[in-house]
């Protein structure tokens, strides 16, 4: 257990569905991250939040919408996804934005039909 939980662990959705991924960290960290992990590709950083403010958005399509209501919770809202969005979505947190170590959740395996 890393202190970072993600729900759901698995999600299958159609292209017209709307769903949300949830991440919660119990470590008192100030920075949270969403990553996308696809087969045979490097981990892609999607969004970064520091003290509930979005500080980085790496050209992610608007069908992905993050939300950080407080420093312990991070959501990724999904709508009208494409099959190529199927991947493992990982949430991570760190003590501060430039901190040395990131703590990862177990991920949500997303399949878009």
Give residues in contact with another protein (CB under 8 A). Answer: 2, 4, 6, 33, 40-43, 45, 48, 55-56, 88, 90, 92, 97-98, 100-107, 109
- Encoding tokens for residue 34? 């969403």
Q: Which is nearer to another protein, 78 or 93 (CB)?
A: 93
Element (H, E) at 61: none
For residue 43, give the DSSP letter: -
40, exposed or middle or buried, with CB in 10 Å at 0-12, 13-18, 19+? exposed
Q: How far is the CB of 16 from another protein (least distance, A)?
A: 27
Measured CA distances, 68 to 12, 16, 38 (Å)? 23, 24, 24
Output 41 or 62, the one with its CB closest to another protein.
Answer: 41
**84 vs 98 by CB, closer to another protein:** 98
- Cβ-based nearer residue to another protein, 79 or 88: 88
Minimal distance, residue 98 CB to another protein, in Å = 5
């Amino acid at each position: 257990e890393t202190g970072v939980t993600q729900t759901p662990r698995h999600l299958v959705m159609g292209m017209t569905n709307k769903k949300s991924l949830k991440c919660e960290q119990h470590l008192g960290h100030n920075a949270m991250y969403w990553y996308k992990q696809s087969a045979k590709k490097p981990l892609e950083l999607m969004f970064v939040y520091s003290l509930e403010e979005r500080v980085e958005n790496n050209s992610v399509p608007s069908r992905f919408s993050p939300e950080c209501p407080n420093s312990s919770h991070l959501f990724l809202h999904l709508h009208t996804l494409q099959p190529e969005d199927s991947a493992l979505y990982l949430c991570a947190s760190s003590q501060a934005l430039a901190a040395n170590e990131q703590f990862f959740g177990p991920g949500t395996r997303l399949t878009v039909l």
